[in-house]
Amino acid sequence: MSKKKNDEKIRLEVESDGTMTASGKAFCLEELITNAGIDLEIWECYDFTVESGAWDVTMNMKGKNDKPDEAITKTNHRFSVKAKFKRKINIIYINEFRKNLIAEISKNVPKSRIKPVITDGNNMLEIDVFDFHFGKLGWIQETNTGNYDAKIAKRIWEKSIITLLARAVKSQKISKIVFPVGNDFFNTDLSLPAPTTTRGTPQQEDLRWQKTFIDCIKLVRYAIQLMLEVAPVDIIIVPGNHDFTRAFYLGAALEGIYENDKYVDVNNQAIPYKFTEWGKNLIGYAHGNSKDISIDRLRQLMQIDEAKAWARTAFHEWHLGDIHHKKIIKTPGGTINMIDLEKKFHKGQLTEEDFQGIVIRYMRSITGDDGWHIGKGYKGSIKGAEGYIFNKKEGPIHILNFNPEQKLYR
């Protein structure tokens, strides 16, 4: 299949593999590109040839005034140029996507801001919906555990946010909410030539990447607007190994949306790990992929990067994702008994001695299963999202859990 330009001088052919050939009368490649109207923001030339003689025209002309009877032969030399073009990676449809994204964001910006109920309490709520993998496609006949697509993901996301917020408000007065976003919020980072993670691992996707990105902005804004009815919100962007760059773009979009909102702060610094200090609590956030950074190095980073905050605080934690199941580690090593720790946590009885300096928490995930993970035997983890309440003086005092019902994945 080819597409031809209706021009006698220039011929354009767009082939079924997406490449394009331009040929015709021109002195050079630049003239061919100009005459053909080729958009260099979309196309790049990877091969071309220039031939002379193809368009030569020879004319017999009369002599000049002093020799009018002398015949003169004159040849106008023209050239033929043939060039091959390919589309630039990640440029296809970018202008259309940019236009649609701006229109979508503008349409959904609230006309009036919700003013949160600011209390004099000392409690900070952290809501962790880690490893969401929005856009993933899972089929029940392949997983035997349930389906997972964009519609199912939206339903579970909304229920998790509502449930955790309701349980937090019922438990304590909240003065601030920390909302880590990222941690493989997106299932893929790259879209061409096929949907893949940041490192290029192929993934099965439910939607086009443009719609996935716009829908994710809507989901995060849905959560933020609910949280703003309770307290001011700090958004912390944490890139994952599936969405390292796309998480940053999401953060940039949120920065623009909430730029003039004094109740919303977006931390979208390029550094992949970030910190929050709340009274006697110092909490670090990273994705937790061991290929990127080890637990030992994370432990050191908190003490080095936040040396002054470390000295001011007594409760130190890292909150990580990636492995899709719950795991708590105390340093310098060993696993804490989960049942005993949960009891202490709810009673507010944890001390620095229990942590031995730092607690490292791996969060659960609400994402559904897919064929690749089932094929690798990654099965059996309890799905869920979590919330943590930290008191300025007493440290962590409550754990909140959202455990999605299996029927939600049907």
Residue 10: per-residue pLDDT: 83
Residue 330: per-residue pLDDT: 53
**Quick one: 77 and 214 in the same domain?**
no
Q: Hey, CA dihedral for 367, 368, 373, 378, is it positive or negative?
A: positive
Phi, psi dihedrals of residue 165, rounded to the nearest 5°: -65, -45
Return the higher-pLDDT residue of 344 and 279: 279
Statement: residue 409 has pLDDT above 70: yes
In a domain, 102, yes or no: no
Domain termination residue (choose one: 22, 53, 87): 87
Out of 1-10, 30-39, 246-255, 385-394, pick the least confident.
1-10
Statement: residue 255 has pLDDT above 60: yes
Q: For residues 99 and 104, what is the distance between their CA atoms, to the nearest angstrom?
A: 9
**Quick one: 156 and 281 in the same domain?**
yes
**Quick one: 329 and 227 in the same domain?**
yes
Q: pLDDT tens across 78-101, in order?
A: 678 899 988 775 544 555 666 666
**Quick one: 81 and 114 in the same domain?**
no
Residue 355: per-residue pLDDT: 42
Return the higher-pLDDT residue of 379 and 129: 129
Statement: residue 274 has pLDDT above 90: yes
In a domain, 105, yes or no: no
In a domain, 4, yes or no: no
Which tokens belong to 128? 């962790």
Statement: residue 351 has pLDDT above 50: no
| Cα 87 to chain centroid, rounded | 23
**Quick one: 400 and 265 in the same domain?**
yes
Q: If you average pLDDT over residues 337-342, what whole number do you get?
A: 48
In a domain, 392, yes or no: yes
Instruction: Kindly report each contact of residues 329-336 with a partner whose C-beta sits within 8 Å and lies 24 or more positions away, as own/partner.
Output: 329/295, 329/359, 329/360, 330/354, 330/355, 330/356, 330/358, 330/359, 330/360, 331/299, 331/355, 331/356, 331/357, 331/358, 331/359, 331/360, 332/356, 332/357
In a domain, 268, yes or no: yes
**Quick one: 242 and 144 in the same domain?**
yes
Return the higher-pLDDT residue of 88 and 76: 88
Residue 163: per-residue pLDDT: 95
Residue 197: per-residue pLDDT: 83
Q: What is the mean pLDDT of the chain?
A: 79
Number of domains in the chain: 2
Residue 77: per-residue pLDDT: 58
Percent of the chain with pLDDT over 90: 33
Q: pLDDT tens across 3-51, in order?
A: 444 445 688 887 767 788 998 888 788 888 888 888 887 788 989 888 8
Going by pLDDT thresholds of 50, 70 and 90, the confidence category of residue 155 is very high
DSSP line for 327-381: EEEESSS-B--HHHHHHHHHHT---HHHHTT-EEEEPPB-PPP-HHHHHTT---P
Find the CATH number of the domain harbouring 361: 3.60.21.10
The range of the structural domain enclosing residue 38 comes to 10-87
Going by pLDDT thresholds of 50, 70 and 90, the confidence category of residue 72 is low
Statement: residue 391 has pLDDT above 90: yes
Q: If you average pLDDT over residues 137-155, what whole number do you get?
A: 87
Residue 121: per-residue pLDDT: 79
**Quick one: 68 and 214 in the same domain?**
no
**Quick one: 133 and 29 in the same domain?**
no
Residue 282: per-residue pLDDT: 96
Residue 119: per-residue pLDDT: 65
State the Rg of the chain over Cα: 30
Residue 176: per-residue pLDDT: 96
Q: For residues 75 and 60, what is the distance between their CA atoms, to the nearest angstrom?
A: 9
Residue 291: per-residue pLDDT: 64
**Quick one: 48 and 121 in the same domain?**
no
**Quick one: 241 and 354 in the same domain?**
yes
**Quick one: 36 and 179 in the same domain?**
no
Statement: residue 1 has pLDDT above 60: no
**Quick one: 37 and 177 in the same domain?**
no
In a domain, 3, yes or no: no
